[in-house]
Amino acid sequence: MWVPFVVVFALMLTGSFVGGWLGAVLLLVPVLFLTWLLYLTWPRLRTPERAMRLAVLALVVAIAVTQALPS
């Protein structure tokens, strides 16, 4: 029951600390998983819940882009 949470957490943590394209890919794997979960639960969510989940996805994508394209 706790394995998916640990895997997503480990990928996001590792992707945050590893730079370059590898870090971005490690962050985008959980984004794909979370997007799939959002798609499945979308009809049952209320507007504030939808907004929060979209904000989390946007934040992780922004971190991935920052990892892939450092300035």
Can you state the angle between helices 47-68 and 20-41, rounded to 10 degrees?
170
Backbone φ, ψ for residue 48 (5° rounding): -65, -35
- Prediction pTM value: 0.82
Q: What is the pLDDT of residue 59?
A: 92
- Asked if residue 15 lies in contact with residue 65, where contact means CB atoms within 8 angstroms, the answer is no
Tens-place pLDDT, residues 6-61:
999 999 999 989 888 999 999 999 999 999 999 999 999 999 999 999 999 999 99
